[in-house]
Structure 1
Amino acid sequence: MTSPFPDPDPAPAPAQPDGQAGYDPAFLGPIVPLPHPTDPDIALVTLPYTHFTVLLRPDRRLAAATAVGIDGGRLVDLKREGQWRLDPRVPEAQQAGEALYADNDFDRGHLVRRLDPVWGDDAEVRAANADTFHFTNAAPQHAAFNQGKQLWAGLEDFLLTHAATFDRKLVVLTGPVLRPADPVYRKVRIPLAFWKVVAFLQDGALAATAYVLDQSPDLPNASAALAAAEAADQPPPLGAYRTFQVPVSDVADITALDLGPLPAVDLLPAPPSPAPTAPGAEPGPDRWRPLGRHEDIVLGPPR
């Protein structure tokens, strides 16, 4: 059977352009390294931008993870301006560009939020804003907003205000959950869930919390509906957005990414049910805490 996907030849990390220093693992003081795959067969390309880094997975044409340092005390509320474009450091066949988003209800969803790296001097601010409009920093999300997606959009703001206690700084790691069974649309497998891990200093010590945004199909015959959508060149049908606070270790499990010291400093109390046993596995019902508002987030003592 012929694969519907291009057969990219994963390249080494491209040279770092002047001015694009990327994410700083020492941004908070304690080292929070970039995630890396626990599966030796998964190759990622490291793409540094201004104040953030994208870890591109060429075989999926999407980022596996992004990392950004947010300096809350220096953020600039820059007017939204920017044009989505491909990154010239990466072959076009390894990026999901405008063809994926044309004439449908998919948003080009920023993985690193547009304003998160927009801090510093004027040149840094403008460069960071422009850098977030690379397609390597985008993932398809359905355009219909609801409470779950609104919660997701405001997580960093809430945690900057209520959790970070050292110069209002955060490190945010985020990305799609790239499951092998994700539905195909225009030769790209569409992720049905997204994850976010936020690290900060609390009482002088490293702390972290983790979240999942799930937009999986909620249909009686999901497989048939997905197949019919693909045959008609229509986006896959998606269920309502649901936002959960989850153990950091569960994010590591479902993404097959090593998250360094962050699972050990999770502020969510240890859940009673077992962890997922494989990437994409369903968690136990007691492990993921549904969020209806930001105030539902648990910021308890590290376990």
Structure 2
Amino acid sequence: MSGGYDSDFLRAGLELPSPSETTVLLDYIHFSVRLRPDRKLAAIVGVNINGGELDPLAREGTWHFDSRIPKEQQAGPEVYKNNAFDRGHLVRRLDPVWGDAATAKKANQDTFAFTNAAPQIDDFNQGKQLWVGLEDHVLNHADAHDARLSVFTGPVFRDDDPPYRGVHVPRKFWKIAAWTNDAVLGAVGFVVDQTPLMDKVELEKATRERLLTDEPPPLGPFRTFQVPIEEIAGLTGLPLEALADADRLARGQRALGEKPKAILLESAEQIRL
């Protein structure tokens, strides 16, 4: 069975970015997680998607701790019990599910590791149709070439993220999809925000008051933005130079003499590829 994110999966080659903070690299079938033990969540996940071999397995899997990491360094079931938080897959369940039957089955189960989950409000996690459809749209674009994507996803960590049951809950999440066209790298980046829905969870009183008095966030529930990848680099501190250089949105906007900026997406057809 194949293990871990493969930096040579795309013809242009693409390393899994590493944060400056201490992380633990965990390899699974066709994807990898860089876990931040201090946050009990992944800082970034990277997955290789072979669109020509995807296996549409039924949603069957058991959430589990990764035995390679102490349980106290993982956001486990107690974070998600009796509340509005879903265990939001960072690597989409079906993304690494390709190859022979045994490999696909193992990849499916690997996505149910708590190291691949983040607390996401149920309405946010279940209702973000455009968010979950982004990769499909980009994969269709890549299908004319080698039908392969490398996708990176993670939370935006901030010092003032609200504490809840021993975990500071991220309010924003980002995603970058990359592909090659005749060995030339292309990439697009996206951000969504669950802040407006956080009042569904009984946060600490001081946290609730701060969220209510803060200025309205620029991203609302059920809204997805395509953003310049350099903006994601600024939000996360991740080294994303290669991806920023390949950013189709920023490249197109600069060609028109515009400063790169985020655009609100109301349908996948608006994505700048």
The alignment's TM-score, normalised by the length of structure 2, stands at 0.87
Tell me the equivalent position of 1:246.
227
Flag the 1:127–1:245 CA change in 2: closer, same or farther, 3 A.
same
Matches within 5 A, 1:52-201: 52-145=31-124, 149-201=128-180
Flag the 1:31–1:146 CA change in 2: closer, same or farther, 3 A.
closer
What's the secondary structure of 2:63's corresponding residue? coil
Matches within 5 A, 1:211-250: 211-217=190-196, 227-228=204-205, 240-250=221-231
Higher fraction of helix: 2
- Give percent identity, aligned residues only: 51
Q: Distance in 1 between matches of 2:222 and 2:70?
A: 32
Q: Distance in 2 between matches of 1:154 and 1:65?
A: 20
Whether the 8 Å CA contact 1:20–1:48 is kept in 2: the answer is no
Shift of 1:204: 4.0
Shift of 1:30: 1.5
What's the secondary structure of 1:194's corresponding residue? strand
What's the secondary structure of 1:257's corresponding residue? coil
Per-residue deviation, residues 23-43 of structure 1 (Å, max 9, x unmatched) = 000001221101112x3xx10
Q: 2:12 aligns with which of 22, 30, 33?
A: 30
The total of aligned residue pairs comes to 256
Matches within 5 A, 1:273-288: 287-288=261-262
Shift of 1:165: 3.4
Q: Distance in 1 between matches of 2:73 and 2:144?
A: 39
Tell me the equivalent position of 1:267.
248
Whether the 8 Å CA contact 2:2–2:103 is kept in 1: the answer is no
Structure 1: segments with no counterpart, 5+ residues: 1-18, 232-237, 273-284
Tell me the equivalent position of 1:202.
181
Flag the 1:91–1:54 CA change in 2: closer, same or farther, 3 A.
same
Tell me the equivalent position of 2:3.
21
